[in-house]
């Protein structure tokens, strides 16, 4: 999604016919259009996302039955052509596709691996609506090195959906790369008694008919594809407002019943605190989900971080909620910049510890620095490696880079930089170069040497003064 586009503006839906008023120009459009690229242009992940268009909004009308593990429905994609197109791609892993329409007219498509190619003559600048009807048993990405199992993971009572980095394609067709953010509506149908949880807020009370309940959720702020979720199953839910007035939605699998009040209270309290450090909360609600699927990690799903099969402590809750600013509102546009998410969220854990009167950020920094043999000294976090994206260096050395910046420029300039970062790129995408430029601008200092040592060079950087 481009930010210049009105978020609430009505979409003009073009049909194939309206793109080309006569048969003759039909031919011309066909000749002048090119096939949209199979990838969005991330050198490390050449097939992720797609070229030639920009999604504004997804409407995912999906039914899931935990007993049969069948997911079925229609994904409607409102997008804009950014080139003259004769075809474009969608990312989709598995499933049987029944039909594709563009502007309501049937469109031809082919599939190869996780790429689906849709034939459509779309002039540059045209807005269009693609609808894909599909069904099947979701196949999550399993045991990927360093990433475990991710995407749409069936559980005993529903689904655990965490898609970072590229698992959105395991449950809906789209432009599966963080460079293309979009708003979402989820219309999720599950058997009565099952709760379906997505991002954003409920559009009303769930409605039940013929033994099935439909939950409508809307995420009205732009979101990257890997943060979209449809977590389903038996859940205990608690809602209300934080002390600061932010709506909170907390849900736990019955196995974690004892955690519900705690999750609700801590998530609200930490979200409130982060608004005093990072600036206004970017979304309309906050919260968290504890499911009984032991993923071994948590994910900062927009408005609803999810914790996979463990009781989250304040440290990890502070991490996932800091991601709402860093990663979710301000998003990366290429995976090598991942420290902008993980380094920031890890540094937030240190700030929370300090705020709680526990170890200070300086003490935590010193503890990491003192280990001269830590393997992270061989992994410069400013360039996350595709084969080992979530290496500890991206988290801890990334956080240390921020602490080194703080000590170098002083607290006033440092927290101004952090708040400006959240404000300047709110709901958008940004790069490491933009961050280092902002740090130099705000501090008035040349910081090339500092960032070089902490982000880009191998070896343990010089000790802080
Ligand atoms: N962003 C998550 C966190 O640090 C980690 C996600 C890891 N992804 C994965 N497929 N294991 O909070
Ligand atoms: Zn994280």
Report ipTM for this prediction. Answer: 0.95
Does residue 377 have its Cβ closer than 6 Å to ligand 1? no
Domain-terminating residue out of 199, 232, 265: 232
What is the distance between the alpha carbons of residues 110 and 142, in angstroms, rounded to a whole number?
Answer: 25
Compute the distance from residue 322 Cα to the ligand 1 centre, in Å: 14
Total number of domains constituting the chain: 3
Compute the distance from residue 349 Cα to the ligand 1 centre, in Å: 15
Would you state the pLDDT for residue 137?
Answer: 98
Q: Give the residue, out of 306, 335, 390, with the most ligand 1 atoms within 8 A of its beta carbon, to mutate for a pocket test.
A: 390
What is the distance between the alpha carbons of residues 440 and 392, in angstroms, rounded to a whole number?
Answer: 26
Is 1 inside a domain boundary? no
Compute the distance from residue 246 Cα to the ligand 2 centre, in Å: 22
CA angle 365, 308, 317 (to 5 degrees): 40
Q: Looking at the structure, do residues 302 and 341 belong to the same domain, yes or no?
A: no
Sign of CA dihedral 71, 223, 312, 244: negative
Does residue 395 have its Cβ closer than 6 Å to ligand 1? no
Would you state the pLDDT for residue 32?
Answer: 65
> H/E element holding 316?
helix 314-322
Domain assignment of residue 312, given as a range = 236-322
Q: Looking at the structure, do residues 305 and 422 belong to the same domain, yes or no?
A: no
Q: Looking at the structure, do residues 46 and 89 belong to the same domain, yes or no?
A: yes
Does residue 150 have its Cβ closer than 6 Å to ligand 1? yes
Structure-block tokens of residue 65: 């039955």
Tokens 């599939």 sit at which residue? 111
What is the distance between the alpha carbons of residues 400 and 376, in angstroms, rounded to a whole number?
Answer: 11
User: Which residue's alpha carbon is nearest to atom 2 within ligand 1?
Assistant: 299
Does residue 349 have its Cβ closer than 6 Å to ligand 1? no
Structural contact between residues 282 and 329, judged by C-beta atoms closer than 8 angstroms = yes
Annotate 308-343 with b (16+ C-beta within 10 A) or e (fewer).
bbbebebebbbbbbbbbbbbbbbbbbbbbbbbbbbb
Residue 397 sits in a domain of what CATH number? 1.10.390.10
Total-model pTM: 0.93
What is the distance between the alpha carbons of residues 228 and 167, in angstroms, rounded to a whole number?
Answer: 10
Does residue 390 have its Cβ closer than 6 Å to ligand 1? yes
CA angle 427, 431, 432 (to 5 degrees): 130
Q: Which atom of ligand 1 is nearest to the CA of 390?
A: 7
Each residue's pLDDT expressed in tens, for the chain with a length of 465 residues:
533 333 333 333 333 333 333 333 343 444 468 999 999 999 999 999 999 999 999 999 999 999 999 999 999 999 999 999 999 999 999 999 999 999 999 999 999 999 999 999 999 999 999 999 999 999 999 988 888 999 999 999 999 999 999 999 999 999 999 999 999 999 999 999 999 999 999 999 999 999 999 999 999 999 999 999 999 999 999 999 999 999 999 999 999 999 999 999 999 999 999 999 999 999 999 999 999 999 889 999 999 999 999 999 999 999 999 999 999 999 999 999 999 999 999 999 999 999 999 999 999 999 999 999 999 999 999 999 999 999 999 999 999 999 999 999 999 999 999 999 999 999 999 999 999 999 999 999 999 999 999 999 999 999 998
Structure-block tokens of residue 264: 């609700």
């Amino acid at each position: 999604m481009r930010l210049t586009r009105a978020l609430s503006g009505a979409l003009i839906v073009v049909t194939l016919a309206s793109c080309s008023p006569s048969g003759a120009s039909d031919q011309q459009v066909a000749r002048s259009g090119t096939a949209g690229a199979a990838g969005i242009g991330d050198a490390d992940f050449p097939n992720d996302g797609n070229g030639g268009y920009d999604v504004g909004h997804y409407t995912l009308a999906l039914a899931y039955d935990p007993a049969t593990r069948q997911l079925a429905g229609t994904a409607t994609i409102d997008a804009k052509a950014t080139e003259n197109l004769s075809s474009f791609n969608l990312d989709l892993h598995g499933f049987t596709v029944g039909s594709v329409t563009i502007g309501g007219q049937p469109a031809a498509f082919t599939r190869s691996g996780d790429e689906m190619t849709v034939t459509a003559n779309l002039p540059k600048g045209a807005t269009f609506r693609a609808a894909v009807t599909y069904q099947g048993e979701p196949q999550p990405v399993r045991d990927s090195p360093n990433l475990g199992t991710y995407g749409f993971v069936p559980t005993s009572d529903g689904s655990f959906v965490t898609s970072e980095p590229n698992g959105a394609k395991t449950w809906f067709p789209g432009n599966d790369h963080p460079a293309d953010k979009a708003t979402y509506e989820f219309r999720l149908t599950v058997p009565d008694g099952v709760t379906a949880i997505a991002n954003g807020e409920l559009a009303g009370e769930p409605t039940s008919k013929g033994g099935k309940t439909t939950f409508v959720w809307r995420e009205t702020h732009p979101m990257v594809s890997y943060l979209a979720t449809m977590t389903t199953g038996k859940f205990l839910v608690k809602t209300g407002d934080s002390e600061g007035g932010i709506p909170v939605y907390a849900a736990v699998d019955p196995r974690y019943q004892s955690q519900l009040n705690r999750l609700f209270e801590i998530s609200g309290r930490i979200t409130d605190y982060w608004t005093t450090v990072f600036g206004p909360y970017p979304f309309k609600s906050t919260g968290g989900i504890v499911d009984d699927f032991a993923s071994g990690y948590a994910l900062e799903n927009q408005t609803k971080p999810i914790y996979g099969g463990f009781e989250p402590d304040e440290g990890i809750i502070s991490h996932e909620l800091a991601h709402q600013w860093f990663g979710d509102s301000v998003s990366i546009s290429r995976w090598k910049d991942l420290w902008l998410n993980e380094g920031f969220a890890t540094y937030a854990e240190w700030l929370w510890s300090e705020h709680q009167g526990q170890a200070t950020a300086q003490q935590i920094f010193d503890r990491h620095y003192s280990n001269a043999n830590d393997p992270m000294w061989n992994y410069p976090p400013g360039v996350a490696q595709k084969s080992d994206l979530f290496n500890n260096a991206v988290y801890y050395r990334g956080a240390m880079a921020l602490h080194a910046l703080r000590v170098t420029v002083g607290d006033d300039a440092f927290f101004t930089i952090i708040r400006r970062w959240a404000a300047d790129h709110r709901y958008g995408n940004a790069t490491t170069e933009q961050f280092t430029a902002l740090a130099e601008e705000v501090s008035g200092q040349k910081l090339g040497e500092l960032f070089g040592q902490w982000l880009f060079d191998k070896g343990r950087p010089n000790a802080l003064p």
